[in-house]
Amino acid sequence: MADKKTKPGDLEENEKLITDTDESFRDRVSTIGTKGNRIWVYPRRPKGSFHRARILVTIILLAVMAAIPFVKLNGHPWVLLDIMNRKFILFGYIFWPQDFHIFALVFLGLAVFVVLFTAVYGRIWCGWLCPQTVFMEMVFRKIEYWIEGGANKQKALKKAPWTAGKIFKKGLKHSIFFALSFLIGNLLLAYLIGIDELSSIITDPPARHIGGLTAMTLFALTFYGIFARFREQACIYVCPYGRLQSVLLDKNSIVITYDNVRGEPRETISRDKENETAGDCIDCGLCVQVCPTGIDIRNGTQLECVNCTACIDACNSVMAKIARPKNLIKYASESQISEGTKFRFTPRIAIYTSVLILLFALVSIMMISRTEVETNILRAKGAISQELPNGNIRNLYTLKIVNKTFDFLPIEIKIKDIPGRIELIAIDSLAVKPNGIAEAAFFIEIPIKYARQQKNVIELYIMSGERQIDIVETVFSGPVNY
Ligand code: SF4
Ligand code: SF4
């Protein structure tokens, strides 16, 4: 994209690898040295309007994330992702293993949603909403700046001998990191097992929750490892969404991009002479120094870019100082940059956005419209209709009913619009326990005038108390010789 390829100012080792013309920077990761060693990134403190907006979004997100496990609806969690017991509650709707098809469809819908969203709007998720970026850049990184100072001070501290001051700073930082990781681990556990179970693990004698305490410790250690050491490597190597960017993005996707048409040829600003042919980029390297993944956005869209907006803010501050227009680095598509056009709501975006809204609506309807029970009523195999002395006719049925609620459901069957009678066989009443299955056999008895055909379709209400919780259609056989 740009004429001249550079690598991060802080990453001296990799700078040597870049020639003026090659694209070899695409063959290696900016944080891995020539010997396969990790190159630690010391990004400068970001500041600017995008960063302020991200702080606001972070506060809202963290508040919502922390609050959700505490929210209950009718005494049950509002959201629960109990993988171990295959029980999921999303926004108050419970999904049991028998709802797997709905869950699979919801996830399929979400997958398509992610693909289309990324194709149009790029990596907005990564920069603004992904918990990894939010915790790393907006929480842990800020603590690091607070204790160790900015990028240069951090580098100096790294090289400094182990004095009491350094031990104190490093000790304080890592203690806070571990405490926070422990809290994040517990938050994740609250989503997986529910806040009540988590409270019991914390308050009960340890011997009663060996498994829970082990999970707590493992989660805390994992998060500590990620945020204290692994950091941006998680986005580059582990995150499947990040790895898929090369196939999800195209030249029309809106990403954070450098306007190479306006910026090149980059030239260091000089008081004495003003080069008319020079572009707006003054090659100050600030956009590289703030990058938490250690890349140079002027090289074009790269896998490592998490769209954190730090380089936009950095470059805008430079442009303001040298009185040039802002947004040399901005949210734009590659096509917009090369064609010099502004953002347009193109038919492609309109179509993709419509499909996204449709998918969202579909998934919502599927979740909302699912019934509390799943009822299966079949005529008993081999049984024929019976004519009764009172002039009625009856058929034998089998019933299988799955309770998808948290509640014990007393069940009653009623015939819709036909005077008739339901007679349970061998039991007086029918009830099904939470997430339970009940099976029964019963007769439907109706006056013969409602069953004149060989096959008559009738509808049955499944009632629980006064509430109708399902409606089922079944076939009622008329008299054999009618
Ligand atoms: S290049 Fe990407 S990851 Fe780096 S500062 Fe810019 S937006 Fe953030
Ligand atoms: S911050 Fe702006 S002016 Fe400075 S090197 Fe980056 S793109 Fe060029």
Number of H helices, E strands in the chain: 18, 16
Point out the ligand nearest to the CA of residue 315: 2
* Whether the predicted pLDDT of 3 surpasses 50: no
Please tell me the distance from the alpha carbon of residue 202 to that of residue 165, in angstroms, as a whole number. 35
Q: Whose CA is nearest to atom 2 of ligand 1?
A: 305
CATH 2.60.40.10-classified regions of the chain: 373-477
Point out the ligand nearest to the CA of residue 127: 1
Ligand 2 atom closest to Cα of 298?
7
Strands 76-77, 72-73: pairing kind: antiparallel
Cα 259 to middle of ligand 2, angstroms = 10
- Cβ of residue 189 lying under 6 Å from some atom of ligand 2: no
What pLDDT, on a 0 to 100 scale, did the predictor assign at position 272? 58
Smallest CA-to-CA distance from 242 within 312, 305, 290 is with 305
Render 152-220 in DSSP notation, one character per residue.
HHHHHHHHS---HHHHHHHHHHHHHHHHHHHHHHHHHHHHHH-HHHHHHHHHS-GGGGHHHHHHHHHHH
What pLDDT, on a 0 to 100 scale, did the predictor assign at position 33? 84
Q: Whose CA is nearest to atom 7 of ligand 2?
A: 281
Q: Whose CA is nearest to atom 7 of ligand 1?
A: 307
What is the average pLDDT score of the chain? 87
* Whether the predicted pLDDT of 166 surpasses 90: yes
**3-state SS, residue 264:** coil
The class of domain 373-477 in CATH terms is mainly beta
C-alpha separations of 249 from 117, 217, 361 in Å: 10, 38, 25
Q: What is the pLDDT of residues 9-65, one digit of tens each?
A: 444 544 444 444 456 667 778 888 888 888 999 999 999 999 999 999 999 999 999
Q: Whose CA is nearest to atom 3 of ligand 1?
A: 305
> Are 44 and 311 within 8 A, CB to CB?
no
What pLDDT, on a 0 to 100 scale, did the predictor assign at position 135? 97
Ligand 1 atom closest to Cα of 256?
7
Cα 312 to middle of ligand 1, angstroms = 8
How sure is the predictor about 5, in pLDDT bands with cuts at 50, 70 and 90? very low
Q: What is the mean pLDDT of residues 141-155?
A: 96
* Whether the predicted pLDDT of 108 surpasses 80: no
Q: Angle at Cα 22 formed by Cα 16 and Cα 25, nearest 5°?
A: 60
Pocket test residue of 298, 318, 321 for ligand 2, highest count of atoms within 8 A of CB: 318
Ligand 1 atom closest to Cα of 43?
5
Smallest CA-to-CA distance from 474 within 451, 464, 463 is with 451
What pLDDT, on a 0 to 100 scale, did the predictor assign at position 324? 92
Cα 286 to middle of ligand 2, angstroms = 6
How sure is the predictor about 271, in pLDDT bands with cuts at 50, 70 and 90? low
What pLDDT, on a 0 to 100 scale, did the predictor assign at position 88? 85
- Cβ of residue 291 lying under 6 Å from some atom of ligand 2: no
Ligand 2 atom closest to Cα of 329?
7
Model confidence, pTM: 0.80
Cα 236 to middle of ligand 2, angstroms = 24
Which residues form the pocket of ligand 1, taking CB atoms under 6 Å from any ligand atom?
256, 290-293, 295, 297, 305-311
Q: What is the pLDDT of residues 291-328, one digit of tens each?
A: 999 999 999 888 889 999 999 999 999 999 999 999 99
- Cβ of residue 318 lying under 6 Å from some atom of ligand 2: yes
Ligand 1 atom closest to Cα of 304?
3
